Copies of this chain bind each other. A is one copy, B any other.
Amino acid sequence: MTPTIGVSDVLARSRRAIHPAITAAIGRLAPEIRQVATYHMGWTDEAGNAVEAPGGKGIRPTLAILGAEAAWAEPELGVPGGVGIELVHNFSLIHDDIIDTDTERHHRPTVWSVFGVGRAIVAGDALQILAHQVLLESPSPHAAAASAALADATAAMIAGQADDIAFERRRDVSVEQCMAMCAAKTGALLGCAASIGAILAGAPDATVGALRDYGRHLGLAFQAIDDLLGIWGDPATTGKPAGSDLRQRKKSMPVVSALAAGGPEADELRALVLGPEDAALPLPPLETDDVERATFLVEACGGREWTAVRAKANLDAALGALERVRLSAIPHRDLADLAVYVVEREF
């Protein structure tokens, strides 16, 4: 789905505000690391030549800027926060691609598959710490609080990633554990993105808390939609092969909730996705016929419906969080529009 005019404009404006700062930050990296980072960002090809970058939508830095404005501050105050969030997000993508041995992201070879595992680890490490250099050097008197909030969100995200890895070796992931993993892996950083601008602006705790809750719920809604797209999404728009999550036997929200439904179809799904009770996990990828059958079973067990309801409930909770405090009207509306846009993509 193409963003509505309003959301399009808001995202484009944020990208313009963030671009010079993130370019300057990446420019500080040592040449060996910078080459890897600019490739990952889509700014250069494998040889280091500049390329026309389509670029991401920039939802995370936009949240940082809107968060500052919603807390009655100038948008510029949110910029170091947006840069920090974007650097941490990209650190996590580079490391996650190594961990998942993914060879493609946004239709391009992943960093580790181009530059090797060693340079990919180092580039991710460099982006993680660069985020804090940028924040701690920002002139805001609240820079240390923003850096601490980003550190806490990063630690939660890393813990979520560790759980995600552990889930591959487990047969017994509950719906609660799945939701807690998503809250950590996706929700924490979006919660920080939405509140870090307000932190840098020195906003009251209630405002910071409301924006953080908005971002956390938005993250859970986002993940629910991502999990639906991972099974039913159109490969042309998701950039992933059809049914890729089921092929990889991923314990995503639709699968875990379907398994929890009980009954003969859930038993059949469990046997397909987890293999026999005594099978050592992780198993090899599912065959195409089995992916099709598993897709049918997840829906038959209510996993698709359950996940769609979670997406909608978290969108409502995100919008509700914005009503808890008095926010500046226009950024308040933009935050609400952005949440609806994120959840309605592809639907």
Residues of A within 8 A of B (CB): 29-30, 32-33, 91, 95, 98-100, 117-119, 121-126, 128-130, 132-133, 136-137, 143-144, 147-148, 151-152, 154-155, 158-159, 161-163, 165-166
Question: Which residue of B99, B122, B144, B151 contacts A158 across the interface (Cβ within 8 Å)?
Answer: B122
Which chain B residues border A159 with CB–CB below 8 Å? 29-30, 32-33, 126
Question: Which residue of B118, B128, B148 contacts A99 across the interface (Cβ within 8 Å)?
Answer: B118
Kindly state the separation between the CA atoms of A135 and B328 in the bound complex, as whole angstroms: 34
Looking at the assembled complex, report how far the CB atom of A174 sits from the nearest CB atom of chain B, in whole angstroms: 16
Which chain B residues border A166 with CB–CB below 8 Å? 32
- B99-A121 in contact (CB<8A): yes
- B151-A133 in contact (CB<8A): yes
Which of A118, A129, A154 has its CB near the most chain B CB atoms (within 10 A)?
A129
For residue A29, which residue of chain B has the nearest CB? Answer: B159
- B165-A151 in contact (CB<8A): no
Which chain B residues border A161 with CB–CB below 8 Å? 122
Kindly state the separation between the CA atoms of A162 and B36 in the bound complex, as whole angstroms: 11
- B144-A136 in contact (CB<8A): yes
For residue A154, which residue of chain B has the nearest CB? Answer: B129
For residue A184, which residue of chain B has the nearest CB? Answer: B30
- A163-B30 in contact (CB<8A): yes
Kindly state the separation between the CA atoms of A125 and B121 in the bound complex, as whole angstroms: 10
> Contacts A32-B159, A159-B30 known; A165 to B132 CB distance under 8 Å?
no
Question: Which residue of B126, B137, B154, B162 contacts A119 across the interface (Cβ within 8 Å)?
Answer: B162
For residue A88, which residue of chain B has the nearest CB? Answer: B129
